[in-house]
Amino acid sequence: MCKEFNVEHKKRLAHRRPPGFHLLLFCACLTAEFFLGSLARAQEQNPEWQAQVRKYAEAQDWPSAMKIVDREVARTPQDMDVKACRARVLAWWGHLAEAEKEYLEILNVSRKDPDNWGGLAGVYLREGKITEALRAISSAVELDPKRADLHVTRGRVLRAAGERTEARQEFQKVLNLEPSNAEARAGLNSLRGEPKHELRVGQDNDLFNFAGANHDEWTSLVSRWTPRWTSTFAENVYQRGGVEAAKFMGSVTLRQPKWGALTLGAAVGHDNAVIPKREAFFELDRGWKTGETNFVRGVEFAYGQHWYWYQTAQIFTLNGTATVYFPRDWTLILAATGAQSAFLGSGTEWRPSGLGRLAFPLTHRGDTKLSGNIFFAVGTEDFARVDQIGRFASQTFGGGLRFQITARQDITGYAAYQKRTQDRTDTSFGMSYGIRF
């Protein structure tokens, strides 16, 4: 600090200095040095707080991480690095509005750190503010054009904005800087075009305590030809108590942004008196997004009607389903069915059933993800399971796993236990494999 004095100015004023001036100046310099040294030592004495924050962040213990950061902010309120750490923790925690405010306050003080612009861009992207995100990440790239992570973020923002060509160029810049960058390679792969078709094969089994086992092998093909039109075809082969049967199903879905989706379908079967001979159905589906920052990110409602014609019975069902989307890919499904049964030689009656299903993520690494679900179903007809129509009440408990091998392949499995009236039980399990292309 003493070096900042103007030497010539000091010479001109030398004759005005009182006695002991040099001693006072020396003491002032010592005081300043002591103060700055104490501050530096205080910083050095507490280097572990960032490691603690990192540890809590890895465990997703956000309240504990925020407690440490807030303590450091209170201790050094002018330290923009500490405030930037607070903004990052808020973003990781999902408090996007607070993180955005924190970043903006930092940038009002200092606009020269590309990390802060990049962090703000990430928050804007998650909030769906694409224009603001692009502006922020462009500022970060201008400050440090050789930072690969900034170009990755800019590529993601451009992809979200629908600028696929520019996004591809941005990801390629990253690979030119770092040929082994996995995020950039994944970004390029994501721009190859969304797969239009999903082929899935599966197998289901029912083990009864009162009859022989049932088995079902099936194959389905879902094709999204345009953003509006989707088709579905499926074939099932059944073994029911030593009797074989088969069914072929087809449907078409029309999507309109304003009113949702309408699905019409039908099925025909080589029934052998164990499955429906014919089926027809339709479904109306409508969803609403409430925003990624809200506790409920979206809600979807579906209503459908389904007709089954058996050899000895006719079944008509009314189906209603509500799907609630929560943060971090948690999903709750609530479904209710009213079934009108008409058996030969008896009257017609309505019977209810219902189902609740909670799906949740377990772990993920890149495109590899593992998720699970648990469900409970109850009904006076067996509409917890698809086509076993009969006069009984049931309760079904079960769960499943979904392992996403890559962005285009997955394996799913489930198991359930059903308790029926007359002390009858059904233990069911199955597995399927899907590939998108």
pLDDT score recorded for residue 344? 67
Q: Please give the model's pTM, rounded to 2 decimal places.
A: 0.63
H or E element, residue 16: none
pLDDT score recorded for residue 391? 58
Confidence label for 382 from pLDDT (cuts 50, 70 and 90)? very low
Query: What is the chain's mean pLDDT, rounded?
Result: 85
The packing angle between helices 80-93 and 114-127, to 10°, is: 20
Render pLDDT for 11-42 as a digit per residue (tens, 0 to 9).
333 334 444 434 333 333 333 333 333 333 33
| Spatial separation of the C-alpha atoms in residues 84 and 111, rounded to whole Å | 12
Q: What angle do CA 359, 413, 310 make, to 5 degrees?
A: 95
Neighbours of 7 (CB within 10 A): 7
Render pLDDT for 103-146 as a digit per residue (tens, 0 to 9).
999 999 989 999 999 999 999 999 989 999 999 999 999 999 99
Question: Per-residue pLDDT for 258 more than 90?
Answer: no
Question: Per-residue pLDDT for 376 more than 70?
Answer: yes
Q: Which residue has the higher pLDDT, 28 or 259?
A: 259
Render pLDDT for 391-435 as a digit per residue (tens, 0 to 9).
578 899 999 999 999 989 999 999 999 999 889 999 999 999 999
pLDDT score recorded for residue 227? 80
Q: Exposure of 187 by Cβ count < 10 A (0-12 exposed, 13-18 middle, 19+ buried)?
A: buried
The arithmetic mean of pLDDT across residues 181-186, rounded, is 90
pLDDT score recorded for residue 345? 65
Q: What angle do CA 283, 285, 288 make, to 5 degrees?
A: 170
Domains of the chain: 49-190 (1.25.40.10), 197-436 (2.40.160.40)
CA 174 vs CA 117, 124, 131, 168: distances in Å: 18, 22, 22, 10
Half-sphere exposure of residue 262, counting CA atoms within 13 Å on the CB side? 5
pLDDT score recorded for residue 419? 93
